[in-house]
Amino acid sequence: MKNIIIKLENVWKIYKMGNVNVNALRGIDLSIKEGEFVAIQGPSGSGKSTAVNMIGCLDIPTKGEIFLDRKNIAHLSESDLAQIRGRKIGFIFQTFNLINTLTAIENVMLPMVFQGISKEARLKRAGSLLDLMQLGDRKNHRPTELSGGQQQRVAIARSLANNPNVVLADEPTGNLDSKTGRTVMDFLKKLHKEENKTIIMVTHDDKLAREADWVAFLKDGKIVK
pTM of the model: 0.89
Closest C-alpha to 201, from 221, 219, 187: 187
> What is the average per-residue pLDDT within 109-118?
92
pLDDT of residue 172: 87
Give 188 or 109, the one with higher predicted confidence.
109
For the cut 90, the answer to whether the pLDDT of residue 114 exceeds it is no
Give 114 or 65, the one with higher predicted confidence.
65
Q: Identity (one letter) of the amino acid at 125?
A: R
Phi, psi of 138 (to 5 degrees): -120, 15
> What is the average per-residue pLDDT within 53-79?
90
pLDDT of residue 131: 94
For the cut 80, the answer to whether the pLDDT of residue 147 exceeds it is yes
91 CB-side CA count, 13 A: 18
Give 20's pLDDT tier (boundaries 50, 70, 90): very high
Question: What superfamily would CATH give domain 4-223?
Answer: P-loop containing nucleotide triphosphate hydrolases (3.40.50.300)
Check if the beta carbon of residue 67 is closer than 8 Å to that of residue 73. yes
pLDDT of residue 214: 96
For the cut 90, the answer to whether the pLDDT of residue 33 exceeds it is yes
